[in-house]
Structure 1
């Protein structure tokens, strides 16, 4: 799943391509991808992209009517745009979920993407053949898109906690102290902190030498300091490393920077102990016993069921 560093890199890459360009056409392969109907996605056509940024793990493509170019919403005269509720900013918000991705293409196919295929949304902008595809691999389609006048109209965004790279130490401490959840779950709960997923939470906990099963409210202030600094270090280093990378290489670049996540059975790069895994029904996490749990091997839920 793309997390804060990858989404930031995708946003930067896309912004460098589309900022200032008009949107010529928008193709939606399945209306199930769209979670809003007002404004319609066709309202994006004829508007100009002002920039692409992120909120947590959400991509935000911001657009306005280019009055200098004579742009106006469909059915509205140019001098009536100020009174039209689509004349202001309209945002295309995208959540890539587990298997979503964005691909810029210098030459887009002339025919719309077929339903059920890899391309969920196609945005034509810039030169007639240019634009970008929003794709999703696999058969479980979870990618979501919203067309809104303000990002707070997306309920999931309105419910987000502070950004993991913007939260202050004091606010972070209050979030941790108020939580009875395990630290692993706290880090990936977007209502508590926005932007961290399964992979980088493993990396943060390893860097902080903290057990995934530690409870937030029981962490002493010194351990909270360690966790906060580890969070900022891991996310900043990953963001800096990925910034400027080609989008097609982001996934492989991400993997090369991971020390424990996805490295079950390999030696820990810090102490040499074997990286272990705890599996659940729909996900797993990795950790180093020596670095994080005083040498104790945590019970693997999958193996525990098999041994009953």
Structure 2
């Protein structure tokens, strides 16, 4: 289920202690932590934060007074990397680990592994935008947890990083309501641009990105098959790509989008033959086969036996009538 949630919180300089605690929790969860250790706020302290989940990615923008904070990560935080996407730079931002500064982002963007308990400090009033992306989405780019805790990304050397910053700013300015197709298209664009910012050579042949997108399409098809026919235009729209790009994802010897859908449909029918007492005719019709002869030929060609032989082998017998 693709989702897009937009949330915001504003902290006035004269806020109460309870409101300040509320800000701390909101701030921590926006960095995928479950809490922030007591912050040495200098009063008056103010802030304005907006965040948006776009499928499995999180975009956060905030403006605050100076601070330094230590986060306690929740169990899911380690599955993400963070990318500071503010451009142009609006103030010094330092990442800390074990009381040692590991990355200064005075004039750069940067990426960090979100698994470690870390400190984060901002020395002047600033506004910044951060993108959190699942590590599995970046695995194809060559990023591996543990390679480095944090490193800067030069926006001058990585035009994709500047484009990504513009995209994220636009995402947060959109109305709260967003269709699933739009959310998925934005998510895929953000991940692709981030891969380009980290490892631009991966985009040269686009194989890594294509593999990731192809897997997402296949997962989407498997989830939609029970609800009826699937067209290339439906799949392309759901993933924010053109029909031509969709077909290119499955362009290979003996492979096409249509053949992938047919294989998935036949496998669903096979699984139901294995677990259901329904008749073969009922199962075939459920998975889009109106011609029983065609279904029988496809099943035998793929699995090397007839549906009757398959059920006999697995001791599955249909209901009478």
**Bigger relative contact order (CA 8 A; separation at least 6):** 1
- TM-score calculated relative to the size of structure 2: 0.28
Q: Which of 1 and 2 has greater Rg?
A: 2
- TM-score calculated relative to the size of structure 1: 0.29
Which one has a larger percent helix, Structure 1 or Structure 2?
2
